[in-house]
Amino acid sequence: MLSSDPIIAFTRRRWQAKLYRVGRRRPGVDGIGAGVNKIMSLLGSALLNRRIVGAAILAVVLFTLAVDLAGLVFPCPYCRVQRFALGVLALILMLKSYDALWSRYIAAVVGMMGLVVGISQNFNHIKKINNGSFDWSALWIGHPWILSGLAILALTWQLFLIFDVDRRSAR
């Protein structure tokens, strides 16, 4: 057997002795590592909380809707479809029956529509890059290529939360 092999057992004991010597501090247990671990743990649990994610995305959707209705930005049909999909999925995430069949069906249809539109917008910018007509100096956080990429990430994350991808299967 692999575990009864004396060479492997000796190597395992040797590494355990190196890693867990008495009097040595283990990294990540105290000091700065403990603070970073706590922050990452809180961030991870917040990103898996469907209501926090839904409320944050809904706030962004409402802000961008207000900016669009005020006429401060170019009326982009791609952005409007992605905003609609993000808003519908955010509302579904905040429902108590987010995992019901009807809400999952609506989430699948609307989410895939938003993903297809976002990927199409990204692909159009990639075509501009290949043609040589892409303006690299205009690339910043408000660029449609960056924003559609962020919308794709947000839509995918919302679909993961609605379909409980983080939970183990019943196998």
77 and 139 in a single domain? The answer is yes
pLDDT tens for 1-44 read: 455 666 666 666 665 655 555 445 555 455 667 777 788 888 88
Q: pTM for the whole thing?
A: 0.73
90 and 28 in a single domain? The answer is no
pLDDT tens for 55-77 read: 999 999 999 999 999 989 888 89
60 and 124 in a single domain? The answer is yes
Q: Which of 9-18, 68-77, 127-136, 160-169 has the lowest mean pLDDT?
A: 9-18
Tell me the C-alpha to C-alpha distance, in Å, between residue 109 and each of 58, 66, 81, 99, 103: 19, 25, 13, 15, 10
- Residue 134, by phi and psi: left (phi above 0), alpha (psi -120 to 50) or beta? beta
57 and 113 in a single domain? The answer is yes
Domains in the chain, number: 2
pLDDT tens for 87-122 read: 999 999 999 988 899 999 999 999 999 999 999 999
148 and 137 in a single domain? The answer is yes
Distance separating alpha carbons of residues 161 and 44, to the nearest angstrom: 13
Q: What is the pLDDT of residue 62?
A: 96
105 and 61 in a single domain? The answer is yes
43 and 55 in a single domain? The answer is no
What range does the domain containing 17 cover?
A: 1-47
Spatial CB neighbours of 51, under 8 Å, sequence gap ≥ 6: 93, 94
